[in-house]
Copies of this chain bind each other. A is one copy, B any other.
């Protein structure tokens, strides 16, 4: 059932993006039209339209006249994404702390609370739950939402998603996750205090997550660009 007022193609785009980000469509996987057509129940043209956008977003790779595949993963890519995120998150957080108003602060508190409560309710395996992942993303977004720069915010969101794919990918195999509650709380407090330390805290938060991923799940990120996984 498609969203009213929106095109079917847009609907497929969103479903497909979620499937790539959640690794339901595995990194490096060849995307065959016949299979995709069954999965999403749309025509060739509509599929290509969605694929074209995902290519521009860096989630799918077009291979000349040989179709499409899910963007591969690699440790180099994760580290590149991490550096780029640090640059943008620091800048946006810096601006947000300058421009942020009451509504911005309230939204941060609300987002943190929702994430925190769900986490407490879920216990140790919170990081495997898609709903928590969404609240976590919302919390991080709330921090920078007063950045007042559509261009930077858009880029930040795309980078967040792409990096998040690595985390989601590994969460299926991880036993236990480093406890991030403390870090989130510290980031929030420093941010609301307009304490410049917040910038270093968020940088450390991002970098340590990546280091952690590379250490404990690096083997999952072997380059899949020449992959053979052929289903779709």
User: Which A residues have a C-beta under 8 Å from some C-beta of B?
Assistant: 5-7, 9-10, 44-45, 48-50, 52-53, 55-58, 62, 64-65, 77, 80-81, 83-84, 87-88, 91, 149-152, 154-155, 159
Contact = CB atoms under 8 A, between A and B. Distances in A.
Given A53-B52, A53-B56, A56-B53, A151 B7 contact: no
A3 to B, nearest CB: 10
A135 B36 CA distance: 42
Given A52-B56, A80-B151, A87-B88, 12 more contacts: A5-B64, A6-B64, A7-B62, A7-B65, A9-B48, A45-B45, A49-B52, A52-B52, A77-B150, A77-B151, A84-B151, A151-B159
Contacts of A65: 5-7
Nearest to A85: B151
Contacts of A83: 149, 151-152
Contact of A48 (B5, B45, B87, B154): B45
Contacts of A7: 62, 64-65
Contact of A149 (B48, B49, B64, B80): B80
